[in-house]
Amino acid sequence: MNEELISLFDVSLFIFVAEVIRSFLAKYNLPNIVGELVAGMIIGPYALGNIINSLLGFQLISLTSYVQFLAEFSVILLIFASGLEHGITPIKAGGIYSFLGATLGALVPFFVSYYFFYTSFGVDSALFLGVSMGATSLAAVVSIIESERLGGKGIDFLFSASSSDDIVDLILLSTVLTLVGSSKITVQGLALRVIELLTTWLIIFAVSAVLIPRISNKLSDKYIEEYPFVLIFSLTLIMVSLGFSPIIPAFIAGVSLANSSKSKRIREISEILLSIFGSLFFVVIGAEVDLLTINFHVILLSLLLTTIASIFKWIGVFPFAYLKLKDVKLANVVSIGMIPRGETGLVVASIGMSLNALNQVEFESIVLMSLLTTLVGGILFKLLMERIKK
Lowest mean pLDDT among 20-29, 143-152, 304-313, 319-328: 143-152
More confident position, 321 or 275: 321
More confident position, 369 or 153: 369
pTM given for the model = 0.76
The reported pLDDT for the residue numbered 87 is 73
- Phi and psi based region of residue 112 (left: phi greater than 0; alpha: psi -120 to 50; beta: remaining): alpha
The reported pLDDT for the residue numbered 146 is 56
What mean pLDDT is predicted for residues 34-57? 88
Are residues 125 and 357 in contact, defined by beta-carbon separation less than 8 angstroms?
A: yes
226 CB-near residues (< 8 Å, 6+ apart)? none
Residue 139 has pLDDT above 70, yes or no: no
Rounded to whole angstroms, the Cα distance separating 261 from 251 reads 18
The reported pLDDT for the residue numbered 308 is 93
Angle at the Cα of 164 (from 131 to 304), degrees rounded to 5?
30
In the chain, the domains with their CATH numbers are 3-66 (no CATH), 67-279+301-389 (1.20.1530.20)
Residue 333 has pLDDT above 70, yes or no: yes
Residue 147 has pLDDT above 70, yes or no: no
Are residues 342 and 140 in contact, defined by beta-carbon separation less than 8 angstroms?
A: yes
The reported pLDDT for the residue numbered 315 is 94
The reported pLDDT for the residue numbered 389 is 65
Rounded to whole angstroms, the Cα distance separating 322 from 137 reads 21
pLDDT tens per residue, range 178-198:
777 665 666 676 677 777 777
Alpha helices (runs of H) in 278-327, residue ranges in sequence order: 280-287, 296-325
Would you tell me how many other CB atoms lie within 10 Å of the CB of residue 124? 20
The reported pLDDT for the residue numbered 242 is 80
Q: What percent of the chain has pLDDT over 90?
A: 12
Q: Which of 136, 77, 139 is nearest to 106 (CA)?
A: 136
More confident position, 319 or 372: 319
